[in-house]
Structure 1
Amino acid sequence: MAVPTVSKVKICGLQSVEILQSVAHLPITYIGFVFAPSKRQVTPEKAGELISFLKAEKEKGATVPQTVGVFVNPTEEQLAHILAAAPLDVVQLHSKETPEFCRWTREQFQVSVFKSVSISKSDSAIPTPEAVAAQLDPYRGAVDAILLDTFDPIYGGGSGTTFAWDCIPVYQEWARNAGVQLLVAGGLQPDNVDLLVNTYHPDGVDVSSGVETDGVKDIAKIISFVERVTRK
């Protein structure tokens, strides 16, 4: 049996160069910027400043995270405007975006596309493979990753609460068959992420509020989270 690889880490909701400077040396795969309405929302210009910092570090020979922009039902015009100011590596679509829109985004801007799947916190039923296939097969060839997140009635995700992890394997099987990554978000923090990665071995984990104190990114919590995920 193959030994599961270490899950990738995505830290979402960064807003300042100071925090980015403090975590850029860690084994983080993705840094996320929120462009959807949120207390963590950044302007395209601020995201562009943070991306410029990472590019400068990369030119010095450093290994830096890829940049991800989080969007909720953006228009084509909004994506074009934001990506002109903030040249992202990944566009994460977090609502009801169609497969056609995902494919257009991928091809138009030459970026990877992550598509979120919202799972109700109260739903403990495990979906059948057939149900997952019916839901996700239209996205084959249009996305590079599926992100499982706890449903939030206002923003779709980013609720800071977990969902029933028992449903992960059926989505994981679909993702592997489709040749895309499976990332898991929703209520993750240093105290529970090691249980998730050791039990389900997702391709990646995504955290935002779980590494904050009083709504501000906490360096010590980020370090602890990353260590819990990446240690073998």
Structure 2
Amino acid sequence: MAEPSVKICGLQDVEVLKSMINLPVDHIGFVFAKSRRQVTAEQVASLIPILKEWDSTATPESVGVFVNPTMEELADILQSASLDIVQLHGQESPEFCLEVKRRFGVKVYKVLSIKNNSDIEGSDLVDYKGALDGLLLDTYDPIYGGGSGHTFDWKQIEPYQTWTKQEGIPLIIAGGLHPDNVGDLLEHFQPDGVDVSSGVETNGIKDIAKIRAFVERVKR
């Protein structure tokens, strides 16, 4: 089985990014949606070149996190910030996802927010066949949709994992992950990747010691 990918999300700071350049991180996430971690296209345009300085064998891919953006918003942002992946966190349709891929030449990851103890609807994915390059599961948050800092019931992963395997795309798990629980997730559910934001922060600020510990737990 391939080594799981790691995404560190919610980066805003040049110094934090520079302190990470010897770590085997696969994706760096920048939040354009409303959030305390929200960034501008100009900020991200200045951060993306740092990814080219990475010490590991591969340069991390840049991921922009959006909730129900318009094509015009995406066009404006992508003109300044050359993202590799657009991660869609809202109610974006399969047609919208395909159009983003076609128009901008980026990969598209769709996020599904999982409510604990909810019935799993396999049918909500059928229409996305062929439209996605990755699927991300996050804990439902009534205000922001995701980024709640809480885990969901991981037993709900299985049907989504079946679908992504059929599609040949990665399944990435987010929601309440941190250095002390990510090993448990990987051991019992074997997702293709993990995504962390608040779980590697101290008082709302990215903490390089926690980032290092998280990456080591995933990549060991």
Contact 1:24/1:64 (8 A) holds in 2: no
Counterpart of 1:175 (choices 164, 175, 183) is 164
* 1:49–1:192 Cα change, 3 Å: same
Return the alpha-carbon distance in structure 2 between the equivalents of residues 199 and 144 of structure 1: 24
Percent same amino acid among aligned pairs? 56
Report the secondary structure of 1:48's partner residue. helix
Separation in 1 of the partners of 2:74 and 2:168? Answer: 26
- The answer on 1:25 being equivalent to 2:14 is no
- 8 Å CA contact 2:23–2:56 kept in 1: the answer is no
Q: Distance in 2 between matches of 1:147 and 1:157?
A: 11
Is residue 2:10 matched to residue 1:13? Answer: yes
User: How large is the Cα RMSD of the aligned pairs?
Assistant: 1.4
**After the TM superposition, which residues 112-123 of structure 1 pair with which residues of structure 2 at under 5 Å, given as runs?**
112-120=107-115, 123=116
Gaps of 5+ in 1: none
Q: Could you tell me which residue of structure 1 aligns to residue 192 of structure 2?
A: 203
How many Å apart are 1:63 and its aligned residue? 3.1
One-letter code aligned to 1:124 = N
Q: TM-score, normalised by structure 1?
A: 0.91
Q: Are residues 1:228 and 2:210 paired?
A: no
- Partner Cα distance (1:171, 1:63) in 2: 28
Q: Counterpart of 1:52?
A: 49
**1:101-180 correspondence to structure 2 within 5 Å:** 101-120=96-115, 123-125=116-118, 127=120, 131-132=121-122, 134-180=123-169
State whether structure 2 residue 30 is matched by structure 1 residue 37. Answer: no
Shift of 1:169: 1.4
- Structure-2 residue corresponding to 1:215: 204
Higher helix fraction: Structure 1 or Structure 2? 1
TM norm structure 2: 0.96
CA contact (8 A) 1:24 1:65 kept: no
Is this contact kept in 2: 1:126–1:166, CA < 8 A? no
**Offset of 1:61 from its aligned partner?**
9.1
Separation of aligned partners in 1, 2:112 and 2:28:
20
Structure 2 gap segments, 5+ residues each? none
Deviation at 1:7, TM superposition (A): 0.9
Number of matched pairs = 220
Instruction: Give the 3-state SS of the residue equivalent to 2:65 in structure 1.
Output: strand
- Once the 2 structures are TM-superposed, how far is the Cα of residue 62 of structure 1 from its aligned partner? 6.1
Give the deviation of 1:95 after TM superposition.
0.8
Partner Cα separation in structure 1 for residue 147 and residue 111 of structure 2: 11
Deviation at 1:125, TM superposition (A): 5.0
